[in-house]
């Protein structure tokens, strides 16, 4: 069995923390009846998940923890999904997208 370096272990732990934070945020969004979660497509959910994950990497943990994901409106969610789609199609730079998603999330604080 190959040795796992501390760097690899650290990257994996970081990835697990990111995935857990995003999943917790998605669960709060899902539980909000105003989100109309059932109407989102798999692609919408994938874009939302990706953008939340990339934003988690970039914002301070204290800011992330203060965000009230259950207060995000359908309009907010559609905007985050649209931003994710723009990044995927290379119509928007990832840095710009993360800043815009951050601003949306900070409005929920």
pLDDT at 95: 97
- Secondary structure class of 36 (helix, strand, coil): coil
pLDDT of 2 > 90? The answer is no
pLDDT by residue (tens digit) across 47-63? 999 999 999 999 999 99
User: Is the separation of the CB atoms in 48 and 81 below 8 Å?
Assistant: yes
pLDDT by residue (tens digit) across 73-107? 999 999 999 999 999 999 999 999 999 999 999 99
Could you give the percent of the chain with pLDDT greater than 70? Answer: 98
């Amino acid at each position: 069995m190959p040795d796992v370096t501390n760097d690899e272990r650290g990257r994996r732990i970081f990835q697990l923390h990111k995935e857990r934070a995003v999943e917790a945020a998605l669960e709060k969004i899902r539980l909000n009846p105003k989100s109309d979660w059932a109407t989102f497509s798999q692609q919408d959910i994938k874009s939302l998940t990706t953008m939340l994950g990339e934003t988690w990497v970039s914002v301070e943990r204290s800011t992330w923890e203060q965000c009230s994901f259950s207060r995000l409106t359908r309009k907010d969610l559609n905007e985050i999904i649209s931003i994710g789609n723009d990044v995927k199609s290379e119509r928007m730079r990832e840095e710009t997208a993360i800043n815009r998603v951050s601003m949306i999330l900070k409005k929920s604080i």
